[in-house]
Amino acid sequence: MISRIWHGWTTPQNADAYENLLREEIFTAIHGRQMQGFQGIQLFRRDVGGEVEFITVMWFDDLDSVRTFAGDDYEVAVVPPAARELLVHFDERSQHYDVREVRMVE
C-alpha cells in the first residue's frame, strides 16, 4: 500500500471555506472517479503560526494507482484552481511512502 501525503496552508479567515471545498467538492470528485486501487483519503487540520495547515493523506494499492490519480509525474501536487485561490502556499510535490503496517483499535 502507498500513502500520498500533501500539505497546504491558508489564512484563518479562509480555513472553513477551504475545508468545505475539500469535503463537498474535491473529495467528492476524487471518490466519483472510482479509480481502481484508490482506497480513501484522510484530512487533518491545525492552527500553526498564524496560518491553518491542512494535510491530506491518500491511500492507494500501488504506484500505478497513484499515477491513475496524478499522472506520470505522480509526485506533482493535484490542486484545483478553486483550492489555489484559498491557499496561501502549498507543497508543489506530494510525498509517497510504502505503508509497512497499519494497526487500528477495534
The DSSP call for residue 25 is I
Is 31 within 8 Å of 96 (Cβ atoms)? no
- In a structure prediction context, what are the per-residue pLDDT tens digits for the chain, which is 106 residues long? 999 999 999 999 999 999 999 999 999 999 999 999 999 999 999 999 999 999 999 999 999 999 999 999 999 999 999 999 999 999 999 999 999 999 999 8
Q: What is the pTM of this model?
A: 0.93
Domains of the chain by start residue, with CATH: 2-98 (3.30.70.100)
The C-alpha cell of 92 is what? Answer: 508543489
Contacts of residue 105, defined as CB under 8 A and 6 or more positions apart, other chains included, come to: none
Please choose, from the candidates 49, 47, 43, the residue with its C-alpha nearest in 3D space to the C-alpha of residue 19: 43
